[in-house]
């Protein structure tokens, strides 16, 4: 079983930066794909970005060029570096991990972009 814990959310001004972390524990060596999703206020959860075990990454158009996903396999931690933040990036951010047997979600971390 894999467990995920996110951290790093908070309040930031437009144009600012934040880095989110997602620490995996348990059978983390079996993780094939890790991803970030977000749920803006009053909206459905949406895809942000993902990284495969081979390092392949993909981004939603809305964050391309501003967000960077990375993964430290030695630390079993995934990161999301968010730059040039906009008010529309305000959301609860969730990390997700897929193994051959399960799809696991973290508890979420709030990101608020406001002046």
Residue numbers in the chain where pLDDT is lower than 70 = none
Please tell me the predicted confidence (pLDDT) of residue 106. 96
pLDDT at residue 79, as a whole number: 97
Strands 91-98, 109-113: pairing is antiparallel
The Cα 35–Cα 49 span in angstroms is 6
pLDDT of res. 75: 85
> Which of 91, 61, 80 is CA-nearest to residue 17?
80
Q: What is the pLDDT of residue 82?
A: 98
Burial level of 1, CB count in 10 A (0-12/13-18/19+)? exposed
Distance, in Å, from the CA atom of 97 to the CA atom of 86, rounded to the nearest integer, reads 26
Are 88 and 16 in contact by the 8 Å Cβ rule? The answer is no
Structure tokens at 48: 């942000």
Give per-residue pLDDT as tens, 58-84.
Answer: 999 999 999 999 999 888 899 999 999
pLDDT for 104: 96
């Amino acid at each position: 079983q894999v467990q995920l814990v996110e951290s790093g959310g908070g309040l930031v001004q437009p144009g600012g930066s934040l880095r989110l972390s997602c620490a995996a524990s348990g059978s983390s060596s079996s993780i094939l794909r890790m991803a970030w999703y977000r749920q803006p206020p009053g909206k459905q959860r949406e895809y942000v970005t993902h990284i495969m075990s081979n390092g392949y990454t993909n981004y939603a158009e809305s964050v391309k060029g501003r967000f960077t996903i990375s993964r430290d396999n030695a630390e079993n931690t995934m990161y999301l570096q968010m730059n040039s933040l906009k008010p529309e990036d305000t959301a609860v951010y969730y990390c997700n991990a897929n193994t051959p047997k399960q799809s696991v979600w973290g508890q979420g971390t709030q990101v608020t972009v406001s002046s």
